Amino acid sequence: MSYRDTYDFWMTDDYFDEDTKKELAAIADDEAEIEDRFYRDLVFGTGGLRGVIGAGTNRMNFYTVRKATQGLANFIVKQNAQDKGVAIAYDSRKYSPEFAAEAALCLCANGIKSYLFESLRPTPELSYAVRKLGCTAGIVITASHNPPEYNGYKVYWEDGAQITAPKDREIIAEVKAVTDFHTVKTMDKQEALDKGLLTIIGAEIDDAYMEELKKQIIHPEIIKEQSENIKIVYTPFHGTGLVPVKRVLSELGFKNVYIVPEQELPDPEFTTLEYPNPEDPKAFELALKLAKEKNADIVLATDPDADRLGIYALDTKTGKYMPFTGNMSGLIIAEYQFRERTKCGLMPKNPAMVKTIVTTNMADPLAADYNVNLIEVLTGFKFIGEQIKFFEQNNSYNFVMGMEESYGCLVGTYARDKDAPVAVMCLCEAAAYCKSQGITLWDHMLDLYEKYGYYKEGLYTITLKGVTGAEKIRKIMSSLRAESLTQIDTLKVLKVRDYEKNTITDLATGEVTESGLPQSNVLYYDLEDGAWACVRPSGTEPKIKLYYGIKGTSLDDADAKLEALQTALVEKLNKLAE
Ligand SMILES: O=P(O)(O)OC[C@H]1O[C@H](O)[C@H](O)[C@@H](O)[C@@H]1O
């Protein structure tokens, strides 16, 4: 069917309700909008399904949520795993509770047990709940940090990590095979409860999750000692982080935790924010204002589904709050974990850290320093979570922590997705430790640079929306591929990694080896002088992403090097996007 035919079908078939038809009638004269809403089905990207809320096959709505769930249900029934069930959580977004209930009732109608959280919960708690309840799968209704007009659907498998290949392909094939909406099942909520197919979950999982978080603490005594001294400002950005973060910090004994009042309560419009993403410095405005009033040591923010964490820390010399990138906060946590676990004899045998290919290379000397094995995976925390399963299956390594540049971090293996409450907790412990030494996290970061090298990284994105945008992104990638760059700015390209072709080409020798990672549309350039660049289309937003990094000899040298590389790369990408 063409997009027009699909539009007409939605306008006329009695399966679709009157509100949907009204919404679609309003765009009858807007061909581009009709095309964008119907030219494809929503696709599973880096973080599952994600799309703008509205009527259409390429939108998040009751019909697309049900269809995705029916596909998942068909897959589960084929595996004969109905009895193990599916855990379902949701965040504070528009329609999140409604979509979650819809998914639960579709599963129940297919004879699959559903465990639905009574109210909003963080994504990592769902990852934990899947294993705790022995479920076969999990679902979170969230669009993570995307703008308010979005929602999404993340799918987890029994190991607690988001689905990866080949399971993702198999489930997607089942979803695609649902071509007739009339075959999508649903059932009455009361009937599902009466039949024992639907169970509402809450406090018992919260308590167990909380205990798991606290097990990751290394020095409770230092927290106690500093509990009156350290001042923490926290904002949940109107999302799910408030309850677990407040609880864990309070149970650990932190006395001075100030929540940003304007952003404390759930709000699907994210009224006080342009973009509820800790990657966006503007999102910290209110938190920094409160931090100055309270003279806080550290400022923390979690995104709406509480899987990402962003921080600022006080520079006592200048009195300014300094921003940490996801790379920096991840490294602070990693270094503290490695150092203190080693010192206290708590480091497991064969320890491993997992990071993505676009995450800072400063992790390399740090991991080497503590004899920690460093494993690299493609972008997406699902690939980090998946490694824990592999370690267990092969009895190879013991996972200590995972981190990625996009503000995601996990310490421990109780969950298999990035976990902002655990990251907040670990950073507050590290901050308390620093306080006991008379320094701040910022001073400590400077010490780490001095010890391991001045690694700095940047990210530049271009938003290219709709059908034409997707086509442009495709063209940019193929132009770059065709161009075979040998130099970027003044830096020679040493190696080109093409993850789509599964090749790593050494430009000096011409030798070609395999990338060793799953196929993905990613180009990565290893450059001279410890620098690198990487380009890939986003899998969650209509964007092309350019990542880059350098290694400097001082903060100033690093800034100058990063700026030079960034200018050259941005100019190149902008030209390709013209
Ligand atoms: O870059 P995208 O494909 O849009 O994904 C954005 C981010 O999504 C999730 O948060 C993943 O865990 C990250 O690894 C990824 O960076």
For ligand 1, the distance from its centroid to the CA atom of residue 421, given in whole angstroms, is 18
What is the structure's pLDDT at 43? 83
How many residues are present in the chain? 578
For ligand 1, the distance from its centroid to the CA atom of residue 404, given in whole angstroms, is 9
Q: How do residues 381-426 score in pLDDT, each as one tens digit?
A: 999 999 999 999 999 999 999 999 999 999 999 999 999 999 999 9
Q: Is 46 in the pocket of ligand 1 (CB under 6 A)?
A: yes
Exactly one of 92, 127, 144, 329 is catalytic; name it: 144
pTM above 0.90, yes or no: yes
DSSP 162: B
Nearest CA to ligand 1 atom 11: 380
Nearest-atom number in ligand 1 for the CA of 405 is: 16
Q: How do residues 448-497 score in pLDDT, each as one tens digit?
A: 999 999 999 999 999 999 889 999 999 999 999 999 899 999 999 999 99
Which are the contacts of 91, defined by CB distance < 8 A and separation ≥ 6?
120, 121, 122, 123, 140, 141, 142, 239, 240, 304, 305
Give the Cα separation of 533 and 412 in Å (integer): 30
Give the Cα separation of 159 and 102 in Å (integer): 24
Q: How do residues 70-96 score in pLDDT, each as one tens digit?
A: 999 999 999 999 999 999 999 999 999
3-state secondary structure of 109: helix
**SS3 assignment for 306-364:** CCEEEEEEEECCCCEEEEECHHHHHHHHHHHHHHHHHHCCCCCCCEEEEEECCCCCCHH
**Residue range 317-342: mean pLDDT, rounded:** 97
For ligand 1, the distance from its centroid to the CA atom of residue 520, given in whole angstroms, is 14
Dihedral of CA atoms 553, 557, 562, 568 in degrees, nearest 10, equals -120
Name the amino acid, one letter, at 505: T
> Which is nearest to 213 in space by CA: 373, 363, 425?
425
For ligand 1, the distance from its centroid to the CA atom of residue 46, given in whole angstroms, is 6
Q: How do residues 94-148 score in pLDDT, each as one tens digit?
A: 999 999 999 999 999 999 999 999 999 999 999 999 999 999 999 999 999 999 9
Distances (CA, A) of 372 to 155, 400, 409, 410, 430: 30, 9, 17, 16, 19
Interface predicted TM-score (ipTM): 0.98
Nearest-atom number in ligand 1 for the CA of 406 is: 16
What is the structure's pLDDT at 375? 98
Nearest CA to ligand 1 atom 1: 538
Nearest CA to ligand 1 atom 9: 380
CB 303 within 8 A of CB 278: yes
Alpha helices in 154-284 (DSSP H): 167-177, 189-194, 203-214, 220-226, 242-252
Q: Is 47 in the pocket of ligand 1 (CB under 6 A)?
A: yes
Supply the mean pLDDT for the chain. 97
- Burial pattern 146-172, b for ≥16 Cβ within 10 A else e, equals bebebbbbbbbbbbbbbbbeeebeebb
What is the structure's pLDDT at 118? 98
CB 275 within 8 A of CB 237: no
> Which is nearest to 532 in space by CA: 517, 550, 505?
550
Q: Token digits for 27?
A: 């765009």
Do 40-201 and 211-452 have matching folds? yes
Alpha helices in 215-284 (DSSP H): 220-226, 242-252
Q: How do residues 23-46 score in pLDDT, each as one tens digit?
A: 999 999 999 999 999 999 998 777
CB 234 within 8 A of CB 250: no
Q: To test the ligand 1 pocket, which listed residue (43, 327, 381) has its Cβ within 8 A of the most ligand atoms?
A: 381
Q: What is the CA radius of gyration of the chain?
A: 24
Q: How do residues 368-381 score in pLDDT, each as one tens digit?
A: 999 999 999 999 99
Q: Token digits for 42?
A: 């929503």
Nearest-atom number in ligand 1 for the CA of 404 is: 14
Architecture of domain 454-577: 2-Layer Sandwich (3.30)
Q: Is 541 in the pocket of ligand 1 (CB under 6 A)?
A: yes
For ligand 1, the distance from its centroid to the CA atom of residue 403, given in whole angstroms, is 12
The helices-and-strands tally (H runs, E runs) of the chain is 19, 24
For ligand 1, the distance from its centroid to the CA atom of residue 45, given in whole angstroms, is 9
CATH 3.30.1510.10 fits 211-452, yes or no: no
- Strands 320-324 and 373-377 come out as unpaired
Q: What is the CATH number of domain 40-201?
A: 3.40.120.10
Alpha helices in 345-419 (DSSP H): 363-369, 381-394
What is the structure's pLDDT at 99? 98
What separation, in Å, do the N-terminal and C-terminal C-alpha atoms of the chain show?
32
Percentage of the residues of the chain whose pLDDT score is greater than 90: 97
Residue spans of the domains in the chain: they are 40-201, 211-452, 454-577
Beta bridge partners of 484: none
Q: To test the ligand 1 pocket, which listed residue (406, 459, 522, 538) has its Cβ within 8 A of the most ligand atoms?
A: 406
Task: Confirm whether 92 is a catalytic residue.
Answer: no
Q: Is 164 in the pocket of ligand 1 (CB under 6 A)?
A: no
**Residue range 434-446: mean pLDDT, rounded:** 96
Distances (CA, A) of 252 to 72, 106, 326, 478, 547: 40, 40, 24, 52, 37
Q: Is 327 in the pocket of ligand 1 (CB under 6 A)?
A: no
- Strands 398-404 and 351-356 come out as parallel
For ligand 1, the distance from its centroid to the CA atom of residue 52, given in whole angstroms, is 17
Burial class (CB in 10 A: 0-12, 13-18, 19+), 277: buried
Beta bridge partners of 310: 301
Q: How do residues 151-193 score in pLDDT, each as one tens digit?
A: 999 999 999 999 999 999 999 999 999 999 999 999 999 999 9
For ligand 1, the distance from its centroid to the CA atom of residue 49, given in whole angstroms, is 12
Q: Is 521 in the pocket of ligand 1 (CB under 6 A)?
A: no
Q: Is 127 in the pocket of ligand 1 (CB under 6 A)?
A: no
What is the structure's pLDDT at 541? 86
Distances (CA, A) of 209 to 129, 198, 206, 215, 421: 8, 21, 5, 10, 10
Nearest CA to ligand 1 atom 16: 406
Which are the contacts of 477, defined by CB distance < 8 A and separation ≥ 6?
521, 523, 535, 537, 544
Give the phi and the psi of residue 474 in degrees, each rounded to 5. Answer: -60, -40
